[in-house]
Chain A
Amino acid sequence: MYRYDEFDHQLVTERVEQFRKQVDRRLAGKLTEDQFKPLRLMNGLYLQLHAYMLRVNVPYGVLSARQLRKLADIARRYDRGYGHFTTRQNIQYNWVSLADTPDILADLATVEMNAMQSSGNCVRNITADPFAGRARDEIEDPRVWCELIRQYSILNPEFAYLPRKFKIAVTGAPNDRAAVGVHDIGLRMHHDADGRPGFEVLVGGGQGRTPVIGKTIRDWIEPEEILAYIEAILRVYNLHGRRDNLYKARIKILVNALGIDKFREMVDAEWEAIRGQGLTVPEAEQARIAQYFRPPAWASLRDIDAELELQATADPAFGAWLNSNVSAHKAPGYAIVSLSLKAPGREPGDLSADKMDAVATLADLYSLGELRVTHRQNLVLPDVRQADLKELFRELVSLELATPNIGLLTDMIACPGLDYCALANARSIPVAQDISRHFTAVDKLQEIGALSINISGCMNACGHHHVGNIGILGVDKKGKEFFQITLGGASDQNATLGDRLGPGLPQAEVPGAIEAIVDTYLAQRESEQETFLATYRRVGIDPFKTAVYGEEPVRRVA
């Protein structure tokens, strides 16, 4: 993974000291909250329902065991002993104090981490395929470019006060695990006929109140030109994005208002003016960063499918886990292992400091000391020897991190919701807990197959409900919490937005409604291979409506 050099260290250290002074001025009453707020936000510090919340960047989801230990240490020393992994591959602490924050940031800097621009109307943490550099289906490792874009965007003076926040996601694999279609800029890496890499650029995707799937603005950008092209997009957005209405300020609104062709024309004009100058990535810098992402020293091994199959037959629990939580690795004899943070009844994405430490130990023992955070709020050990899988499985079972549900119904995304979030309408976590307690039978989950349930506590859609196969959105009706269900969303390479099923339901009725939806799918599917999404796309919403609301159109309060 990338390691800071003297420049990176210097910049982060200076940033911490700058923020320390700003906090001192705030505590001494020399800054008003209004003036201080953008400063603290651009250092990742929110004020939530109960306390300050600090959001720490995990750059493109890559984390070392050493860093995870530090995150555990911070959770214990400055928080209440746990953290929450988010859909932006970051970690949030829910109970930090303002006065402690500069010290936390200084601690983070010792392990080459920071919280810069994890909030604010600026370019946020770059997200990426959590399997980057490891997945067997990968065309090109996107992390070199993620790091270049990260550095380009950090403390970029021109784009610190954009109309609204700005999210960039990158994938180098045809199977999109980074949801690039719902980002302000989505980058897909392809190869040309000669096997040289380049970027397809999507723009104007996003969720929130007005969900939009991004449109391809250019199907080919040479890698060394990507920073200039991003700058051209950012400049057009900074100059022309709306600033009069918070809900119409994202770039998607600008792209839709102008139309993609007009928008492209403006970006191209800007790009032509700055092409080939200071933003062209020097080859030496590309090479310098690339060396950090060279494949680790994998042993030369062979795949041991037959042996694993035998182990799976002997131990069906292991088999189920192998099926859902283990993915194909580039290197023969290795596997990518996902650690489920979605055990039944748990808070999706939460992890205690003790377990962080335990996972760090496992990463050292079994995965060359590296980890990943996924946008589905799980952790990944990216370099596990297939021969170690059985042993690792046993360790993970004892940590409650081996729930065999990755990609299955109970691998739910849930935002913090009204239990923590100041903007929420309803609680997301209890809904996820109810559903996970309702669907505990492993065979049933595997029978249902690939199915994503995404839960957001309000229209801001941090829980990605628009792109869940089943989306659940918390709404407030006369002071009561209700949940609206959408069906048919997807965040992969064929991203779609879900369709609203009907009126909102009270929390108690949600698990039953999910069961009715799932049963309808099982009855309607043409074969076991036909996924929920495929069936939904084939049969449409009506059978599901009937299953949840009955034959007659029902009027409800919400």
Chain B
Amino acid sequence: MALIRNGFLAADGYSPVPADAPLPATGPLLLTLPQWQAWRTELIERGTPVGVRLASDEHPEALAADTNHLSLIALEFPSFRDGRAYSYARLLRDRFGYTGELRAVGDVLPDQLLYMQRVGFDAFEIDSNDPVADYEDAIGGFSVVYQPSGDERVPALRLRHG
């Protein structure tokens, strides 16, 4: 598994916490939603980087009030065919104002990176021999888009009219 962040190979830096384990004393953590909810107050006070990994049936609304406190949200694709996380990503970015790292995890295929990037993901955990090349291939393939989707690309229907 490789992690691509903003187009570059990156070290993860966040550690998951095993179920039933106590809250570790330090370090950037990647928590499940229940863990975050249990340790929320303490972690906000502590101020170290915290990420939450949402399962595909956990609606990001659960984090709507916390987007300022989180530096990573990972959304799970249980199968590449399950497209819920595309909408979750848009809600997190457009509705809940989340600006931190939004990471796609699970069954993430190189051919889907463009779509994921367009809805707001900026980090991807992919299984690939050459993840940077895959990423660049996928993202660079299109210079025209037809619809706004939360990214900075300007859709054709606006470009046409200046």
Given a CB threshold of 8 Å, the question of whether A touches B is answered with yes
Query: Is A64 positioned at the interface, with any CB of B under 8 Å from its CB?
Result: no
Q: Quick one: given A38-B81, A238-B83, A282-B157, are A157 and B149 in contact (CB under 8 Å)? A: yes
Q: Quick one: given A11-B144, A17-B141, are A160 and B95 in contact (CB under 8 Å)? A: no
> How many positions in chain A have a CB within 8 Å of any CB in the partner chain?
43
Q: What are 10 residue pairs bridging A and B, where the CB atoms are less than 8 Å apart in the complex?
A: A8-B156, A14-B142, A35-B80, A157-B114, A157-B118, A161-B82, A238-B86, A238-B87, A243-B82, A279-B148
- Residues of A at under 8 Å CB distance from B? 5, 7-8, 10-11, 14-15, 17-18, 21-22, 35, 38-39, 121, 148, 151-163, 227, 235, 238-239, 243, 273, 277-279, 281-282, 284-285, 288
The minimal Cβ–Cβ distance linking A167 to chain B, given in whole angstroms, is: 17
Q: Quick one: given A7-B159, A151-B156, A282-B158, are A14 and B86 in contact (CB under 8 Å)? A: no
Q: Which of A35, A156, A159, A285 contacts B160 (CB 8 A)?
A: A285
Determine whether the beta carbon of A158 is less than 8 Å from that of B90.
Answer: yes
A22 to B141, CA, bound (A): 12
Q: Which of B59, B114, B119, B161 contacts A158 (CB 8 A)?
A: B119
The minimal Cβ–Cβ distance linking B152 to chain A, given in whole angstroms, is: 12
A233 to B84, CA, bound (A): 14
Q: Quick one: given A151-B157, A273-B95, are A160 and B146 in contact (CB under 8 Å)? A: no
Report which residue of B80, B88, B156 has the largest number of chain A beta carbons within 10 angstroms of its beta carbon: B156
Determine whether the beta carbon of B160 is less than 8 Å from that of A288.
Answer: yes
Q: Which of B118, B148, B157 contacts A285 (CB 8 A)?
A: B157
Query: Is B33 positioned at the interface, with any CB of A under 8 Å from its CB?
Result: no
In residues 116-150 of chain B, which contact A (Cβ within 8 Å)? 116, 118-119, 137, 141-149
Determine whether the beta carbon of A7 is less than 8 Å from that of B156.
Answer: yes
Closest chain B residue, CB of each to CB of A237 = B87
- Residues of B at under 8 Å CB distance from A? 59, 80-84, 86-88, 90, 95, 109, 111, 114-116, 118-119, 137, 141-149, 155-161
Q: Which B residues are CB-close (under 8 A) to A8?
A: 144, 156
Determine whether the beta carbon of A159 is less than 8 Å from that of B156.
Answer: no
Determine whether the beta carbon of A161 is less than 8 Å from that of B81.
Answer: yes
Q: Which of A15, A157, A278 contacts B86 (CB 8 A)?
A: A157
Determine whether the beta carbon of A10 is less than 8 Å from that of B81.
Answer: no
The minimal Cβ–Cβ distance linking B149 to chain A, given in whole angstroms, is: 5
Determine whether the beta carbon of A14 is less than 8 Å from that of B83.
Answer: no
The minimal Cβ–Cβ distance linking B115 to chain A, given in whole angstroms, is: 4
Report which residue of A10, A153, A159 has the largest number of chain B beta carbons within 10 angstroms of its beta carbon: A159
A282 to B143, CA, bound (A): 21
Q: Which A residues are CB-close (under 8 A) to B158?
A: 282
A532 to B146, CA, bound (A): 46
Q: Which B residues are CB-close (under 8 A) to A161?
A: 80-83, 86
A285 to B158, CA, bound (A): 8
Q: Quick one: given A157-B115, A273-B95, A282-B158, are A151 and B146 in contact (CB under 8 Å)? A: yes
Q: Which of A5, A152, A277 contacts B146 (CB 8 A)?
A: A152
A235 to B147, CA, bound (A): 14
Q: Which B residues are CB-close (under 8 A) to A121?
A: 81, 83
Ranked nearest first, the 6 interchain pairs of A and B with the lowest CB-CB distance are A161-B83, A278-B148, A157-B115, A157-B118, A7-B156, A11-B144
Closest chain B residue, CB of each to CB of A238 = B87
Q: Which of B59, B81, B116, B161 contacts A157 (CB 8 A)?
A: B116
Report which residue of B95, B116, B144 has the largest number of chain A beta carbons within 10 angstroms of its beta carbon: B144
Q: Which B residues are CB-close (under 8 A) to A14?
A: 141-144
The minimal Cβ–Cβ distance linking B112 to chain A, given in whole angstroms, is: 8
A275 to B59, CA, bound (A): 22
A161 to B85, CA, bound (A): 10
The minimal Cβ–Cβ distance linking B118 to chain A, given in whole angstroms, is: 4
Closest chain B residue, CB of each to CB of A36 = B111
Determine whether the beta carbon of A159 is less than 8 Å from that of B86.
Answer: yes
